[in-house]
Amino acid sequence: MIYTIETTREQMLQVAAEKNDFTDEAVVKMSQCLDIYLVEYQKNLKFSRSK
């Protein structure tokens, strides 16, 4: 999961740099995917700590 988060973050930053625009549709979509991954990761952490 951490690999997916880091890879997505790096790709998002690369696209933002290429387009020179953090509000580009592709960048926003990647950011939204990253948000989903981060929430899932945090849920997994919380669940594993509660055991």
Tens digit of each residue's pLDDT (9 = 90 or more) over 6-34: 999 999 999 999 999 999 999 999 999 99
Cβ–Cβ under 8 Å, residues 29 and 40: no
Burial of 37 (0-12, 13-18, 19+ CB in 10 A): middle
Fill in the DSSP letter of residue 16: H
Assign 46 a pLDDT band (cuts: 50, 70, 90): confident
Whether the per-residue pLDDT at 49 is higher than 80: the answer is: no
Q: Do the Cβ atoms of 40 and 5 come closer than 8 Å?
A: no
pTM, two decimals, is 0.82
- For residue 51, what are the CA distances in angstroms to 42, 44, 45, 47, 48? 15, 11, 10, 7, 6
- pLDDT value of position 51: 62
